[in-house]
Structure 1
Amino acid sequence: MVIYFVFLTISAATYALFSLGLNLQWGVTGLINFGHVAFMAIGAYSTVLLSMQGVPIAIAVLVGICLSALLGLLIGMSTLRLREDYLGIVTIGVSELVRLAAKNEAWLTKGSFGVQGYPVPFNFQPDYPVRLGLIIWLTAICGLALWKLWLWMRGKTPRYIGGAIASAFVLTVCVCGALSLYTYDPRAGLMLLTLTTLTIVYIGMEKLVNSPWGRILKAIREDEEVPRALGKNVFWYKLQAFMLGGAIAGLSGAFYAWQFTVFPDNFEPLITFNAWIIVMLGGSGNNLGTIIGAIIFWGYNTITRDELFKMFFRTLGLDDTQQGAFRVMIIGLVLMLIMVLRPQGILGKKEELTLGR
């Protein structure tokens, strides 16, 4: 059970990291990207293929981030002057191009058989003092998360639901993670690395979004003619946001590869739309909301796979294949209700909403 929760934590943190890139592109800047998974695929393949050739993991991840940013540059240079709907069409086409290239260029990507047997970080057996240090490290991250949630919830009654869910998740992560680190399972080390990276990216994103640079991006989202009239290079700011969002998704690709497996069909458009669900559920333009949205999304995804729910689904006459489709249908229904009842998401601000503008 503890190891399974470690798996859930890594998955939720990886998707939160992936969705933070989309939140920067769409939630903050207003750029529609239906091919966000292409950046994750580039990051995942670059990391594992280079590390299999003896390149240090840290350098392999950095190369994956740079290649993902380069892909964002190539897409942005050719599309960011187009209307938003054209940008969405181009990005989903690029994501499918990347996936099909990975599937067919076996000389580079091993084709449909996928890449296996690559090194992963924290795959060692530390002694007791190192384990204790890792537990303290995890406790500090969880404490920082709880403090941030407490500051955010204070005096804001409507925020208690999302904050309570996230706080319960953080406390469970701290307990299960500490147990796994004490007995030491390599997946616990990967969990700690994922949470550390997510914390650093979140803090950096918060500083950027609330800086003058971030305020220009928000102005572009609302009406790009206003910053253009003030002498700002709108295209350049859009390009920066698109590249940075792609780089963050490329970073998440490394964790996706270490957590799951690297097969071309693991990078289908559904992964992008899962990120859209997370961003819209948590609140467009809100980084903390994106993280909470990832927790809720993966919590739902995990609970509905429990044997008790499977028995309930079977009483409805649904086989295993139909159960998967039914879970997706429920997510779609919940998303529709959110768009009607609270279109800004759990933590989003209605005055910043750009849907329907």
Structure 2
Amino acid sequence: MEAYLVAMLVFAGFYALMALGLNVIWGLTGMVNLGLVGFFGLGAYASALLTTKAGLPMPLGWLSGATIAAIAGGIMALIVARLRGDYLAIVTLGFAEVIRLVASNEIWLTNGTDGISGIPGPWRGYVSPQQFNLIFLGIVWTAVAVGFYFLSRASHSPFGRVLRAIREDEDIAAVAGKPVLWFKVRAFVTGAAVLGAAGALYAHYNAFIAPESFAPLLTIYIVLALTAGGVGSMRGAIVGAIFLITLIEGTRFIAAEIPGVTPVQKAALREGAIALTLILLLRFRPQGLIPEKTRTKA
């Protein structure tokens, strides 16, 4: 049970990092991004390939994963920055599917649907699995703490205030003399870098990645985590990620204790309980568990 709880906390850290990245793009800037799993996958594949085939040390692999995802984010931002609403959501969702299809079909590079195995982890093989989980728990949550610190400062800086202005009405922000496109690109690059870093860490924790690891369902989970925690709130992104992991895994144990139902019925009840909890939360707490707070000068 202890190993299971530690593993869930590690995955909560991955979710928290992804929610922080999404919060910059969607929460602060108002750009709907349904392609975040694509940036997550780019970071994972970049770090995995560079460490297994090019022999780079893991820290450089993690940095490279974040950098490649950031570059892709910048290119994507230039393409979609003038799109809004449903059009933006569709294009970003298509981007994520393109990344997954490329990973499935470019066997020479990604090994296709067989995936990449043997991805190194810090001290894997020299310590017990329990100790490895604890080491990675520290690494992931250190990354979350660093990301939270810098993104929180950025969100309350002039840069963050411009992003909020763009979110509320980008035409007014443009009239005020702000280069809207440039700020959108910077927001996308920042968020994509955090998503790529999360993917790189995931690859080295799991030791194996394959295209099915980056299905659209993961994007839905992160959107739910940020919505539950509080869109626009950095603290809310982290709390929402922990809340979602607790909800998903907690209902697993509750469903297992229900007598007289089949496994299929238990799975359906579990999904219903998750959906009902999220609906009730958004009904009675639409601003999320920790609403966004902005600082204004007196």
Is 1:67 the counterpart of 2:68 in the alignment?
yes
1:335 Cα deviation from its structure 2 partner = 2.5
2:263 to 319, 326, 344: 319
Please state whether the residue corresponding to 2:257 is helix, strand or coil.
helix
Structure 2 residue aligned with 1:334? 277
Please state whether the residue corresponding to 1:285 is helix, strand or coil.
coil
Q: How many equivalent pairs are there? A: 293
1:198 to 141, 144, 147: 144
Residue pairs, 1:88-167, within 5 angstroms: 88-123=89-124, 125=126
User: Which amino acid letter does the alignment assign opposite residue 285 of structure 2?
Assistant: R
2:171 to 225, 229, 239: 225
Distance 1:266 1:124, change over 3 A: closer
Structure 1 residue aligned with 2:132? 186
Structure 2 residue aligned with 1:45? 45
Is 1:209 the counterpart of 2:152 in the alignment?
no
Structure 1 residue aligned with 2:8? 8
Distance 1:18 1:319, change over 3 A: same
Distance 1:338 1:23 in 2: 19
1:337 Cα deviation from its structure 2 partner = 2.4
2:211 to 261, 264, 280: 264
Q: What do residues 56-80 of structure 1 show as CA deviations (whole Å, max 9, x unaligned)?
A: 1111111111111111112111111
Given that residues 255 and 266 in structure 2 are in contact (C-alpha distance below 8 angstroms), is that contact kept between their aligned partners in structure 1?
A: no
Q: What do residues 101-128 of structure 1 show as CA deviations (whole Å, max 9, x unaligned)?
A: 10111111111111111111243758xx
Given that residues 40 and 195 in structure 2 are in contact (C-alpha distance below 8 angstroms), is that contact kept between their aligned partners in structure 1?
A: yes
1:259 Cα deviation from its structure 2 partner = 3.1
1:351 Cα deviation from its structure 2 partner = 9.5
Is 1:234 the counterpart of 2:177 in the alignment?
no
Given that residues 343 and 350 in structure 1 are in contact (C-alpha distance below 8 angstroms), is that contact kept between their aligned partners in structure 2?
A: no
User: Which amino acid letter does the alignment assign opposite residue 28 of structure 2?
Assistant: V
Distance 2:150 2:293 in 1: 24
Distance 1:350 1:325 in 2: 37
Distance 1:349 1:244 in 2: 19
Structure 2 residue aligned with 1:17? 17
Given that residues 65 and 251 in structure 1 are in contact (C-alpha distance below 8 angstroms), is that contact kept between their aligned partners in structure 2?
A: yes
1:52 Cα deviation from its structure 2 partner = 0.5
Distance 2:76 2:11 in 1: 28
Given that residues 6 and 137 in structure 2 are in contact (C-alpha distance below 8 angstroms), is that contact kept between their aligned partners in structure 1?
A: yes
Given that residues 252 and 270 in structure 2 are in contact (C-alpha distance below 8 angstroms), is that contact kept between their aligned partners in structure 1?
A: no
Given that residues 40 and 198 in structure 2 are in contact (C-alpha distance below 8 angstroms), is that contact kept between their aligned partners in structure 1?
A: yes
User: Which amino acid letter does the alignment assign opposite residue 116 of structure 1?
Assistant: S
TM-score by length of 2: 0.92
Given that residues 344 and 350 in structure 1 are in contact (C-alpha distance below 8 angstroms), is that contact kept between their aligned partners in structure 2?
A: no
Distance 1:285 1:47 in 2: 29
Is 1:344 the counterpart of 2:290 in the alignment?
no
2:197 to 238, 246, 251: 251
Given that residues 19 and 222 in structure 2 are in contact (C-alpha distance below 8 angstroms), is that contact kept between their aligned partners in structure 1?
A: yes
Given that residues 66 and 247 in structure 1 are in contact (C-alpha distance below 8 angstroms), is that contact kept between their aligned partners in structure 2?
A: yes
Distance 1:18 1:351 in 2: 22
Please state whether the residue corresponding to 1:33 is helix, strand or coil.
coil
Given that residues 122 and 190 in structure 1 are in contact (C-alpha distance below 8 angstroms), is that contact kept between their aligned partners in structure 2?
A: no
Distance 1:59 1:215, change over 3 A: same
Given that residues 125 and 184 in structure 1 are in contact (C-alpha distance below 8 angstroms), is that contact kept between their aligned partners in structure 2?
A: no
Distance 1:326 1:113, change over 3 A: farther
Is 1:297 the counterpart of 2:244 in the alignment?
yes
Given that residues 283 and 290 in structure 1 are in contact (C-alpha distance below 8 angstroms), is that contact kept between their aligned partners in structure 2?
A: yes
Distance 1:95 1:201, change over 3 A: same
Q: What do residues 268-318 of structure 1 show as CA deviations (whole Å, max 9, x unaligned)?
A: 110001000000000010111111111111112222222x53131x53x34
Given that residues 69 and 192 in structure 2 are in contact (C-alpha distance below 8 angstroms), is that contact kept between their aligned partners in structure 1?
A: yes
Taking only aligned residues, the RMSD between alpha carbons, in angstroms, comes to 2.1
Distance 2:274 2:5 in 1: 22
1:349 Cα deviation from its structure 2 partner = 4.2
Distance 2:20 2:108 in 1: 33
Given that residues 19 and 278 in structure 1 are in contact (C-alpha distance below 8 angstroms), is that contact kept between their aligned partners in structure 2?
A: yes
Given that residues 233 and 293 in structure 2 are in contact (C-alpha distance below 8 angstroms), is that contact kept between their aligned partners in structure 1?
A: no
1:207 Cα deviation from its structure 2 partner = 0.5
Distance 1:326 1:107, change over 3 A: farther
Higher CA-based Rg = 1
Distance 1:215 1:351, change over 3 A: closer
Distance 2:275 2:194 in 1: 26
Please state whether the residue corresponding to 2:35 is helix, strand or coil.
coil
